[in-house]
Amino acid sequence: MIDIKWIRENKQVVKENISKKFQDEKLPLVDEVEKLDIENRALKQRADQLRADRNQKSTLIGSLLRNGDKEEAEKIKKEVSSYGDEIVSLEKREDELSNKIKEMMMKIPQIIDDSVPIGKDDSENVEIEKFGEPFIPNYEIPYHADICEALGGLDKNSAGRTSGNGFYYLLGDIARMHEAVIAYARDFMIEKGFTYAVPPFMIRSDVVTGVMSFAEMDAMMYKIEGEDLYLIGTSEHSMIGKFKDQIIDEKELPIAMTSYSPCFRKEVGAHGLEERGLYRVHQFEKQEMVVLCKPEDSMEWYHKMWQFTVEFFRSLDVPVRTLECCSGDLADLKVKSCDVEAWSPRQKKYFEVGSCSTLGDAQARRLGIRMKTEKGNQYLATLNNTVVASPRGLIAVIENNYQEDGSIKIPKALQPYMGGKTKLELK
């Protein structure tokens, strides 16, 4: 959410930013916010003046009574009494306008960084760099679901009976490797100096609207019936919410955390949920990075964070590339974002396995998270990034380590989490 003062002084920049994100339907919001803000400030000014007059005349009434001028005192009392009714009316209108302004401002997208490429959607994202040599073996790599089933590690039919499309059972060594990937990601980030956390897996609506836009909320979140609780779509939601309404001494910054959670997503509009595979599902597990820092340090952290994800996948023998997200592919709260994509030797293309974003002070404003500085309390910056989400990350490991005999070579980094096993073999 942009500072209302900044909108007053930079209205045209805000409009240009909306156009860069190809959301011209939101352009009228800027003029409407400006109009309501002018009215609201006038109301506040009038109410403040009435309060000042009331205080001044209350002092005068006391003086008149002490001097025995009761008649004049009673006359001014009636006048002051009428101020109270008007002040109450003005305060009520102020509250109405403030809520309306906030509601509209939460729909106006955050100002994107100048380095973000302009484009309508993810088809116009820009490749930045490749890490590791993508390869295609001289033997066929089966579909990942077939590989898992051949190893006795996947049962989607039973999950369909218990839960419906988009769910799965992982079994045996495949389930163990899935957890090994998550556990290794946890330890990988702890060694980078991040504090490990397991957050609540449900959050209240005021936290949800603090960390994401209304459109994202509707498309992603599962609501608990009869409760003001939502299942999280990523642990970033809980981790940022942890600091709601807090003032953090700037000496404690940066705060760098890595959090584990199951994640739940409706995937509204997603295609292929009925397929056999595990690319797009309603439930998965994820190791996340979350950083709170001074605004001037946010871009340095942004580059550190996506590089950690690249390093993680390269340690698992998975070639990856990074893509700069274009303006039209950025969620409304994001200032800048990039995706990390893993190589699929079966599909002969890359697929997304992680996303890194800096959100400026957008989430901090919505949730009231500030830092205490010598110049007063200021909003800080928040960032988030996927270390790994599995089973999608598991697919990348399986495909890139699949052998011609149907076995899967276990990367060295995962072997300690697999009881020392070096490969998974057909039974």
Tokens 């973000």 -> residue: 116
Q: 358-377, pLDDT tens digit by residue?
A: 999 999 999 999 999 999 99
CA distance 17 to 11: 10
What backbone torsions phi and psi does residue 233 show, to the nearest 5 degrees?
A: -95, -15
Can you give the pLDDT at residue 274? 47
Q: 241-263, pLDDT tens digit by residue?
A: 999 999 999 999 999 999 999 99
- Domain range annotation of the chain: 4-105, 122-424
Q: 133-176, pLDDT tens digit by residue?
A: 999 999 999 999 999 999 999 999 999 999 988 899 999 999 99
CA distance 173 to 185: 18
> Residue 278: which of 185, 178, 371, 186 has the closest Cα?
178
Amino acid at 238: S
Does residue 420 carry a pLDDT above 80? yes
Full DSSP string of 16-83: HHHHHTT-GGGHHHHHHHHHHHHHHHHHHHHHHHHHHHHHHHHHHHHHHHHTT-HHHHHHHHHHHHHH
Q: 318-338, pLDDT tens digit by residue?
A: 999 999 999 999 999 999 999
The CB density around residue 393, as the number of other CB atoms within 10 Å, is 28
Average pLDDT, integer, range 2-16: 92
Can you give the pLDDT at residue 397? 97
The pTM score is 0.89
> Residue 175: which of 199, 151, 159 has the closest Cα?
151
Can you give the pLDDT at residue 269? 52
CATH of segment(s) 4-105: 1.10.287.40
Say if 4-105 and 122-424 have the same CATH topology.
no
| CATH topology assigned to domain 122-424 | BirA Bifunctional Protein; domain 2 (3.30.930)
Task: Yes or no: say if 325 and 125 are a contact pair by the CB < 8 Å rule.
Answer: yes
Can you give the pLDDT at residue 276? 67
Strands (E), 198-335: 202-203, 222-223, 230-231, 247-249, 255-264, 283-293, 320-324
